[in-house]
């Protein structure tokens, strides 16, 4: 077939996307845009052959280097947005390109191009090669495809779902929210779908392709009561097929969003000070991710900037605590069949019954520590270099029941959700705004709370976890993204109900 330059491809693709939005019954695959289910996708669609990859890798290693890799990406994203009762925006965007990396020790040379031509790729590879200054290295001449799982199969490619099937979702969210409470005065709803095709080719002979879907449906609502307004929202999604978004999911998104906003009219400000804090199951796992998980990413430990840099094999928590980072949770947002270096996704035990047992590694840190990569090498796009990043991070359930955890607290707070967090990765110091929660008084949940922050230190919080319940819940949203080093990647998290025996609550002083 004809091989497109990026400029010609994007011009043609933009026209196709516009046609899809205005005439949704037109199939997307007539331009090759949806043929990501075929093997050798980048060769068939863009002429990227094994011989061409070998030439580019040889150029990337022309001045030496430990290894090099190529990261090809073709991403198609679409949004349908409802505001003020009308679907008034629908748009899409396309990304296409390749990132080329040369690694020497812990130093990285990087170049990228939006043109999948030999000339452009060789020029980008020459840029990456400047990190080294030695005799040329020779890349492997044959490739092996690693065996990996399939954690997000699609019944239908997302690029083949017409606009006319998406609009009713956001309209139904709008209608359901208004039907649930007379206090609702405004609803915004968004449906997003993304189909990301990647191919990684390495100088040591690995070649692997993956198709990574991402979808979500959101409800953001505003309510008014006695002249006072509150806002809240919810979403469901992940790496899911379009068929996931049933009427039941629509109803649940709306129901949770409305419940979260209407309860705020009865919220009180809790007292300030040091007190026991119970974290509810599910979305509160963001605290585990932010305050603790980042400190277990291997680059921070290799550079000695993490509190955990000397703690492998040592106690960091009570025996009830086991923490996992996992790529294999089917359809969750942090699931990956392979990471962005071609390492198969796997389950990594970070803390085993209170003992720190592993960091999260990419290839660079794995070589430094003389261990196998854990499949945590991730990047935002072909324009970005690899970093060790989390996937789905969670704590395993413990022996207690949620009621037992709550009954153990005479006076404290119960946190259902947090937002607007700030974390110092090295020290682990954090502050989060509690967006949903309740008072705990005499072992019972009482009034909802608002306008409160929690503050603490991640490693200290982990050591202060004294009860773990048996109700592990994974967050099933699709909007979660983690920022690090100027890059954003989709992640998931989860938590059972846990008791932190002491944390600083910034409420109202007595």
pLDDT digits (tens, 9 = 90+) for 228-240: 999 999 999 999 9
246 plus 319 within the same structural domain? no
Dihedral angle at the C-alpha atoms of 292, 296, 299, 305, nearest 10 degrees? Answer: 60
33 plus 180 within the same structural domain? yes
423 plus 303 within the same structural domain? yes
Residue 436's H or E segment, with its range, is: strand 429-441
259 plus 277 within the same structural domain? no
Q: What is the reported pLDDT for 499?
A: 98
**pLDDT > 70? residue 156:** yes
Q: What is the reported pLDDT for 13?
A: 40
What's the domain range around 93?
6-263
- From the list 235, 222, 220, the residue with the least C-alpha distance to 264 is 222
Choose the weakest-confidence range: 157-166, 302-311, 427-436, 493-502: 427-436
Quote the number of domains for the chain.
2
Q: What is the reported pLDDT for 450?
A: 87
Strands (DSSP E) found in 203-281: 207-225, 228-238, 273-279
Give the end of a domain, one of 241, 263, 285.
Answer: 263
DSSP 344: B
By the 8 A CB rule, do 399 and 470 touch? yes
Secondary structure class of 188 (helix, strand, coil): strand
By the 8 A CB rule, do 458 and 389 touch? no
Give the end of a domain, one of 233, 263, 293.
Answer: 263
CA distance 473 to 476: 9
Q: What is the reported pLDDT for 38?
A: 58
CA distance 314 to 316: 6
Give the end of a domain, one of 197, 228, 263.
Answer: 263
Secondary structure class of 65 (helix, strand, coil): coil
CA distance 181 to 288: 34
Q: What is the reported pLDDT for 480?
A: 83
259 plus 298 within the same structural domain? no
Is 233 contained in some domain?
yes
Is 387 contained in some domain?
yes
pLDDT tens figures, 93-129: 999 999 999 999 999 999 999 999 999 999 999 999 9
Q: Give the whole-number percent of the chain exceeding pLDDT 70.
A: 92
- From the list 367, 379, 323, 366, the residue with the least C-alpha distance to 347 is 323
User: Which residues contact residue 15 at a Cβ distance below 8 angstroms, ignoring those fewer than 6 apart?
Assistant: none
**pLDDT > 70? residue 493:** yes
Is 389 contained in some domain?
yes
86-104 sheet: strands from edge to edge:
107-113, 86-104, 67-83, 184-202, 207-225, 228-238
**pLDDT > 90? residue 455:** yes
By the 8 A CB rule, do 144 and 74 touch? no
CA torsion sign for 297, 302, 306, 308 is: positive
DSSP 291: I
Please spell the DSSP secondary structure of 408-432, one letter per residue. Answer: T-SEEEEEEEEEEEEE-TTT-EEEE
**pLDDT > 70? residue 286:** yes
Secondary structure class of 186 (helix, strand, coil): strand
442 plus 323 within the same structural domain? yes
221 plus 240 within the same structural domain? yes
**pLDDT > 60? residue 284:** yes
How far lies 37's CA from each of 93, 155, 456, in Å?
20, 11, 47
Task: State which of 5-9, 57-61, 450-454 shows the largest mean pLDDT.
Answer: 57-61
170 plus 224 within the same structural domain? yes
Is 1 contained in some domain?
no
**Greater pLDDT, 426 or 445:** 445
Plot region of 401 (φ>0 → left; ψ -120 to 50 → alpha; else → beta): beta
99 plus 167 within the same structural domain? yes
348 plus 484 within the same structural domain? yes
Is 113 contained in some domain?
yes
Choose the weakest-confidence range: 13-22, 189-198, 261-270, 312-321: 13-22
CA torsion sign for 494, 499, 501, 507 is: positive
- From the list 93, 283, 332, the residue with the least C-alpha distance to 193 is 93
Residue 6's H or E segment, with its range, is: helix 6-22
**pLDDT > 70? residue 26:** no
Question: What's the CATH code of the domain at 68?
Answer: 3.30.2290.10
Give the CA count within 13 Å in the CB-facing half-sphere of 175: 9
- What pTM did the predictor assign? 0.91
Dihedral angle at the C-alpha atoms of 455, 459, 464, 466, nearest 10 degrees? Answer: 120
Please spell the DSSP secondary structure of 453-496, one letter per residue. Answer: EEEEEHHHHHHTEEEEBS--EE---S--EEEETTEEEE-EEEE-
Query: What does the block give as tokens for 79?
Result: 């949004």
DSSP 288: I
Is 12 contained in some domain?
yes
**pLDDT > 50? residue 9:** no
Q: Give the whole-number percent of the chain exceeding pLDDT 90.
A: 86
**Residue 379 phi, psi dihedral angles, 5° rounding:** -145, 155
338 plus 255 within the same structural domain? no
Q: What is the reported pLDDT for 509?
A: 61
Is 268 contained in some domain?
no
Is 463 contained in some domain?
yes
The span from the first CA to the last CA of the chain, in angstroms, equals 75
**pLDDT > 60? residue 345:** yes
The 10 Å Cβ neighbour count of residue 410 is 11
Q: What is the reported pLDDT for 319?
A: 97
CA distance 266 to 274: 24
359 plus 495 within the same structural domain? yes
DSSP 293: I
Q: What is the reported pLDDT for 422?
A: 81
CA distance 3 to 1: 6
Across the chain, mean pLDDT equals 91
């Amino acid at each position: 077939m004809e091989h497109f330059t990026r400029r010609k491809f994007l011009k043609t693709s933009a026209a196709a996307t516009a046609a899809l939005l205005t005439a949704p019954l037109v199939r997307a695959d007539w331009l090759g845009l949806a043929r990501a289910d075929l093997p050798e996708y980048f060769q068939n669609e863009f002429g990227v052959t094994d011989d061409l990859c070998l030439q580019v890798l040889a150029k990337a290693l022309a001045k030496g280097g430990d290894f090099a890799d190529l990261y090809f990406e073709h991403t198609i994203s679409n949004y349908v947005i409802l505001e003020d009762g009308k679907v008034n925006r629908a748009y899409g965007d396309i990304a296409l390109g390749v990132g080329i990396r040369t690694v020497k020790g812990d130093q990285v040379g990087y170049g990228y191009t939006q043109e999948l031509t030999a000339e452009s790729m060789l020029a980008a590879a020459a840029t990456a090669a400047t990190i080294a200054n030695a005799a040329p290295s020779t890349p492997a001449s044959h490739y092996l495809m690693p065996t990996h799982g399939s954690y997000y199969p699609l019944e239908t490619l997302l690029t083949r779902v017409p606009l006319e099937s998406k609009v009713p979702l956001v309209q139904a969210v709008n209608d359901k929210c208004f039907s649930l409470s007379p206090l609702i005065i405004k609803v915004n709803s968004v449906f997003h779908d993304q189909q990301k095709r990647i191919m990684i080719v390495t100088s040591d002979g690995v070649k692997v392709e993956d198709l990574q879907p991402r979808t979500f449906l959101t409800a953001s609502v505003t309510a008014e009561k006695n002249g006072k307004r509150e806002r809240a929202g919810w979403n469901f999604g992940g790496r899911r097929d379009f068929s996931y978004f049933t009427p039941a999911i629509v109803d649940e998104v709306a129901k949770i969003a409305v419940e979260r906003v209407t309860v705020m009219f009865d919220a009180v400000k809790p007292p300030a000070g040091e007190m026991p804090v119970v974290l509810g199951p599910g979305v509160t796992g963001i605290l585990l991710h932010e305050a603790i998980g980042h400190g277990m990413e291997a680059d921070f430990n290799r550079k000695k900037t993490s509190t955990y840099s000397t703690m492998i094999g040592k106690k960091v928590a009570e025996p009830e605590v086991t923490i996992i980072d996992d790529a294999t949770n089917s359809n969750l947002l942090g699931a990956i069949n392979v990471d962005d270096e071609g390492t198969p996704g796997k389950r990594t035990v970070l803390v085993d019954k209170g003992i720190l047992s592993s960091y999260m590694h990419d290839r660079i840190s794995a070589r430094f520590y003389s261990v196998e990569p854990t499949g945590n090498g991730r990047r935002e796009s072909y324009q970005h270099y690899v970093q060790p990043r989390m996937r789905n991070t969670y704590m395993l359930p413990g022996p207690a029941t949620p009621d037992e955890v709550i009954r153990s607290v005479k006076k404290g707070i119960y946190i259902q959700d947090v937002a607007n967090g700030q974390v110092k990765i090295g020290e682990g110091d954090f502050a989060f705004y509690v967006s949903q929660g309740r008072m705990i008084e005499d072992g019972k949940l009482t009034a909802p709370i608002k306008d409160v922050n929690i503050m603490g230190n991640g490693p200290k919080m982990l050591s202060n976890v004294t009860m773990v319940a048996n109700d592990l819940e994974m967050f099933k949203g699709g909007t979660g993204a983690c920022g690090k080093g100027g890059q954003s990647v989709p992640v998931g998290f989860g938590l059972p109900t846990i008791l932190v025996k002491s944390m600083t609550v910034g409420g109202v002083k007595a």
